[in-house]
Each structure stands twice: as C-alpha cells, then as structure tokens.
C-alpha cells in the first residue's frame, strides 16, 4: 500500500488566489512527521513546512499552512495568495518513528507529487 498518496497530478490556480494540495498518508506509528517540499523546474528540493504528529496546532510558514487532520490521516498544503513563482512540483513526505534510543534516522517516504501551475 502507498504510504503517501497525492491524488492530484496537476493543479491550476489564478494568481493571488489560494490553493490546497492534497496529501494522505498511511502509518501505524504514533510518532511521525510530515513534510512538504517544492521542486521548481530548476530541479532543487526546497523545504517548505513541517508538521509533527503530536503537534496540536496546524503548522504555518508565511504563505504556507498545513491542514493537519490526524484522524483522517491527511496533511494538505494550503498556499495563500499564489504567486507566479509558486509554479512547481510539490511533494508531500513522511518520516516514521524513531529507534529505541529516540533517534530518528529521518528516512523520508515521498508521494508522487502535484504539479502546480499559477496563471496570471
């Protein structure tokens, strides 16, 4: 079974509007982390936002917020006031659990990504 599912291969949004990119995940761990990365056409991976499984508040970073619904196992990315520079591929990723010593090796499992196109 897919651990991270991004059901939207492509999304379009008008400049200055908000857009939500969907991500659902599957894990039996109680402790896990959810990440969103942006990959522009230049290819680099840019960290956007993080949500820990025990965080009670939804994470926010500038125009990015994460709509975390733990019971539904979803971690949707909301981009407010879209800009042309937001056009890129967006990946949701999950880090599961820790070892017995409490250290996370940080291994990430990625979804297949959503291509976001912002229209002027």
Footprint of other proteins (CB under 8 A) = 4, 33, 35, 37, 43-45, 47, 50, 52, 91, 93, 95, 102-113
Q: Are 74 and 19 in contact (CB under 8 A)?
A: no
Beta bridge partners of residue 50, listed in sequence order: 35
Q: How far is the CB of 105 from other proteins (least distance, A)?
A: 5
Residue keyed to tokens 């909301």? 78
Q: How far is the CB of 48 from other proteins (least distance, A)?
A: 10
> Based on CB atoms, which residue is closest to other proteins, 74 or 112?
112
> Based on CB atoms, which residue is closest to other proteins, 41 or 120?
41
In the numeric block, which tokens belong to residue 45?
């991976």
> Based on CB atoms, which residue is closest to other proteins, 52 or 62?
52
Residue keyed to tokens 């940080």? 106
In the numeric block, which tokens belong to residue 98?
């820790």
């Amino acid at each position: 079974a897919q651990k991270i599912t991004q059901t939207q291969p492509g999304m379009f949004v008008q400049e200055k509007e908000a857009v939500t990119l969907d991500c659902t995940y599957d894990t039996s761990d109680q402790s896990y982390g959810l990440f969103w990365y942006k990959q522009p056409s230049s290819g680099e991976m840019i960290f956007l936002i993080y949500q820990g499984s025990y965080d009670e508040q939804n994470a926010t970073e500038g125009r990015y917020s994460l709509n975390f619904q733990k019971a539904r196992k979803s971690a949707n990315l909301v981009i407010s006031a879209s800009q042309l520079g937001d056009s890129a591929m967006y990946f949701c990723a999950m880090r599961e659990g820790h070892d017995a010593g409490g250290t996370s090796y940080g291994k990430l499992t990625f979804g297949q990504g959503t291509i976001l196109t912002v229209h002027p």
